[in-house]
Structure 1
Amino acid sequence: MERVATLTVIALSRARHRLRFPERVVAMADRMRTLLVEDEDDIRFVVELALAHRSNFDLTSFASGVEALEALSEGGPSFDLALVNLNLPAMSGATFAKRMASLPCCADTPVIFVTASLYGRDEAQLRGGNSIGVITKPFDAVALPDQIRDMLEQTRV
């Protein structure tokens, strides 16, 4: 855990510097309504920082799939994209994605899984349903918005 915390602090330090002075800004016509489901506070913070300060993402985050599904089931907003930790407690990210896709508001919402390890699963296995890709941890916070956009562009081709 100490190593993860150290890596997170280093990533935050680098990200904060780069986010203040971006080398390029990629503008999108509309803001992308993005759902983040991540149980690790540090990772959630890094993603929020990366997407909020350098890009046109409107981010709504939850610490568990259960909380997110409750909000979505109660008539919460629809989303253009979901970033989901694959290894959530109480409900896996894959299970969350399937349940989310069964809701009218989210039937077509593309999902990008975020994980530290695929645990023997082939990345191709995770591309069923609404899944469009996998981002592995640790990831480059500065490159995250472009990485997400690239995955979305590949699905539109």
Structure 2
Amino acid sequence: MSEADRLRILYVDDDKDIRHIVKLSLALDPAIELRLCADGAEALHAAKTDDWRPDLVMLDVMMPRMDGPTLMVELRDLPGFAGKPFVFVTARAREADVHSYHEAGARGVILKPFNPLTLASSVRALVD
């Protein structure tokens, strides 16, 4: 596997079952390197203390204490995150909601429930 094929993804979701499904789904693509965080505070702490930087950030929209859009703003202010693509993963499928995520700067929106067998290819399509 070449460095160009590797895709580093940070996934943040407060639902441990969804995190597990995402982990299994993205493991179908051996070139994806995944880091998981359970909430915005954990993601911010990791981003500030770890040298590892993702190529793509995937965020749940509705999380306690800090929602996905707020976390996106906070992460973008950190070194190594400006200009990175962000994708929201959400059950909020109203057209107005999806439009607001794009307006906030999201590269894409993946709706829950998603197909676990095609998640990796869907994510790659948003990056390429």
Give the TM-score normalised by the residue count of structure 1.
Answer: 0.74
Provide the C-alpha distance between the structure 2 equivalents of 1:59 and 1:43, rounded to a whole number of angstroms: 14
Partner of 1:60 in structure 2? 35
Question: Which is greater in Rg?
Answer: 1
8 Å CA contact 1:77–1:105 kept in 2: the answer is: no
Compute the displacement of 1:30 (Å): 2.5
4+ runs deviating over 4 angstroms: none
Compute the displacement of 1:120 (Å): 6.9
Unaligned stretches of 5+ residues in structure 2: none
Q: Secondary structure at the match of 2:73?
A: helix
Structure 1 residue corresponding to 2:57, chosen from 82, 85, 89: 82
Partner of 1:17 in structure 2? none
Q: Is 1:41 equivalent to 2:16 in the alignment? A: yes
Q: Secondary structure at the match of 2:47?
A: helix
The number of aligned residues is 127
Partner of 2:109 in structure 1? 134
Provide the C-alpha distance between the structure 2 equivalents of 1:130 and 1:104, rounded to a whole number of angstroms: 18
Provide the C-alpha distance between the structure 2 equivalents of 1:70 and 1:28, rounded to a whole number of angstroms: 26
The sequence identity of aligned pairs, in percent, is 35
Unaligned stretches of 5+ residues in structure 1: 1-26
Q: How does 1:70-149 map to 2 (within 5 A)?
A: 70-118=45-93, 121-128=96-103, 130-149=105-124
**Greater relative contact order (Cα 8 A, min sep 6): structure 1 or 2?**
2
Structure with a larger share of its residues in helix:
1
Provide the C-alpha distance between the structure 2 equivalents of 1:118 and 1:76, rounded to a whole number of angstroms: 34
Provide the C-alpha distance between the structure 1 equivalents of 2:16 and 2:4, rounded to a whole number of angstroms: 30
Provide the C-alpha distance between the structure 2 equivalents of 1:78 and 1:134, rounded to a whole number of angstroms: 21
State the AA in 2 paired with 1:99. E
Q: Is 1:32 equivalent to 2:16 in the alignment? A: no
Partner of 1:16 in structure 2? none
8 Å CA contact 2:61–2:88 kept in 1: the answer is: yes
Compute the displacement of 1:118 (Å): 4.2
Provide the C-alpha distance between the structure 1 equivalents of 2:16 and 2:6, rounded to a whole number of angstroms: 24
Give the TM-score normalised by the residue count of structure 2.
Answer: 0.89
Provide the C-alpha distance between the structure 2 equivalents of 1:51 and 1:148, rounded to a whole number of angstroms: 9
State the AA in 1 paired with 2:97. D
